[in-house]
Amino acid sequence: MNSSVKRLTEAAILSAAFIIITMVALSTGLGYGLYLDFGVPIIFALIYFRCEFKYTLMCGISSVILILLVLGNFAAAILVSQSFLLGVLCGYLIAKKSEIFDDLYLGSIIGVMFMILIDIYARNIIGYSFMQEFQGYVDYMNNNTNILEAINNYLPFIKINLQVVYYLLIAIFPFGMVFSIYFISIMCAKRLRILNENGKRKYFMMRSMRNYGSFMCIRKKYFYSGLVYVILINILKMTDISLSNVYLNTIITCVEYLSYYFIFRDTHVLIGNYINIKFKNKSINLLYLIITLLLLFIIFKITILVYVLISIYMDRRFNLREKQDYIVNSHTLKLMEIYKI
């Protein structure tokens, strides 16, 4: 049988099975919650590994349309479409030739955009926007000084900015979703033996994360791209130019926070590994961690700047990033040879 016809047939069968399972789950009330948030995206990630992008996309679109027409439930169709997009995204990232933290960084950014698109879609259909509603709550609490003073009294060393908390929570949600779906999909696909070579490599990298996670970083091009983005956004903030569009503001700010996290994680890892190799003393490593946490709470942006400059200098001088990649890839290849996959 022609491979295209085979994939199309498999996609049709899997789509039919998914629609039946989803309709039963939603009609009984069991589908809301974990199934829509995790079950649906993992199913579509597995379909992607089996049928590739084109047929998985057809499967997802047809499933959403049929669920909408049969159940007439707009809210369920919106949630299924969001989960379906996240599943296809994670399937694509796992199957492509890249590193795990590159995937998580890109996946989190695209996940934010998916969340914004779904919110716009929901607003146009049911007339309600979750983000605009939460933005109204934040504006109200920011304008109410009594509430802010009561919160800050419990944390005298940290000034709580509810606007920052709002954007931080929005950024964390797609990151957590992508992170969970990504790794669960890899484990399920490994059990079903449908991972390609890139997926198998990432499976063993995932298995080694406990021991070698401190050597895993994003690529230089993503590191410097994120750094340039953060610098440009901070320059834009200095000009006092404000954007009135809630969605555009949310995307720009959430991507900034995600970039801060991955940039700082890389700098912290590079400097920490150098200290560990140089001194080989757990007490010094603990002291470095405590100092880092204190500086982040007291002078966040200055700490980020100093750590970034130090890590760039150390990487250029000692080529640390490439050495860390070599350690991780060598260990991964050995595991693949041992298990012969």
Please tell me the predicted confidence (pLDDT) of residue 100: 94
Q: Can you tell me the mean pLDDT for 15-24?
A: 84
Backbone angle region of 240, left / alpha / beta, with phi > 0 → left and psi within -120 to 50 → alpha: left
Please tell me the predicted confidence (pLDDT) of residue 14: 84
Please tell me the predicted confidence (pLDDT) of residue 172: 86
CB-based burial of residue 63 (10 Å sphere; 0-12 exposed, 13-18 middle, 19+ buried)?
buried
Chain centroid to Cα 50, Å, comes to: 23
- pLDDT at residue 130 greater than cutoff 70: no
Q: At what angle do helices 246-279 and 320-339 cross, to 10 degrees?
A: 90
What's the CA gap between 105 and 83, in Å, rounded? 18
Please tell me the predicted confidence (pLDDT) of residue 169: 78
Three-state DSSP at 286 gives helix
What's the CA gap between 51 and 4, in Å, rounded? 9
Helix (H) or strand (E) holding 340: none
Please tell me the predicted confidence (pLDDT) of residue 154: 57
Please tell me the predicted confidence (pLDDT) of residue 158: 52
Query: Please, are residues 203 and 186 in contact by the beta-carbon 8 Å criterion?
Result: yes
Q: Tell me the pLDDT of the chain averaged across its residues.
A: 84
The CA distances from residue 79 to 35, 90, 138, 206, 339, in Å, are 11, 17, 25, 29, 39
**How confident is the model over 297-318, as pLDDT tens digits?**
888 889 999 999 999 999 898 8
CB-based burial of residue 281 (10 Å sphere; 0-12 exposed, 13-18 middle, 19+ buried)?
exposed
Eight-state DSSP code of residue 128: -
**How confident is the model over 195-204, as pLDDT tens digits?**
999 999 999 9
